[in-house]
Amino acid sequence: MIESILGALLIMIMRIGDVTIGTMRTILVVQGKKYYAGFAGFFEVLIWITCMRYIVQHMDHTVNLVGYASGFALGNILGITLEQKIGIGFVQLNVISRYCTDKIADVLRQSRFGVTILPGEGGAGGIAILVIVIRRKNQKDVVNLIERVDPKAFITIQPSVPYRGFIHGSRK
């Protein structure tokens, strides 16, 4: 019985490892980092095939299924959490503030984040749109700076893959 439980734990640990790596690999693929993605994929599949070999050799233990499913679920949670901490890549924030556009831009620039102000027109007339391209790992800090100035600012965030050029603040 102890051997069955240890086997299920081993399967769970291997699945946590390969799914965590798989989550990171997917982000690397989306970011266009093909060599890092290939490197991660090698270890992801190596762990997965080792896990599957163990499962096939011990198919008579139902507890292995629980270990497999638990490892998959926990691997997703750990992979996403890890990726959020690392913050690979860039995001673009678009900010619309009714009354604090210049103050938000000043605060961000003082914190060494580049900001571009574009003119726009909404249903109520002229507005300004702040466009900010930053590293994902700085996203939370930038949003906090914006919300400190204008808690009602309209903010959208989307992934950004810089093609070329200079991104202010990338030396942070």
What does the pLDDT read at residue 62?
85
- Each domain of the chain, given as residue ranges in start order, spans 2-86, 90-160
What does the pLDDT read at residue 168?
59
Place of tokens 């994902």: 136
Distances (CA, A) of 45 to 22, 79, 83, 99, 141: 9, 16, 19, 53, 36
Given a contact cutoff of 8 angstroms between Cβ atoms, the answer to whether 138 and 113 are in contact is: yes
Picking from 30, 31, 67, 27, the residue whose alpha carbon sits closest to that of residue 51 is 67
Picking from 143, 133, 140, 33, the residue whose alpha carbon sits closest to that of residue 88 is 33
Cα–chain center distance at 60: 38
What does the pLDDT read at residue 30?
84
Contacts by 50-59 with C-beta closer than 8 Å and gap 24+?
50/14, 51/11, 51/14, 51/15, 51/18, 54/7, 54/10, 54/11, 54/14, 55/11, 58/4, 58/7
C-alpha–C-alpha distance, residues 127 and 98, integer Å:
7
Q: 3-state DSSP call for residue 170?
A: coil
Assigned fold of 90-160: Alpha-Beta Plaits (3.30.70)
- Bridge partner residues of 94 (DSSP): 131, 156
Series of mean pLDDT values for 10-residue runs along the chain (172 residues):
88 95 91 92 96 87 90 94 85 95 97 95 89 93 97 95 68 44
DSSP 8-class letter at 150: -
What does the pLDDT read at residue 27?
87
pTM over 0.75: no
Cα–chain center distance at 113: 20
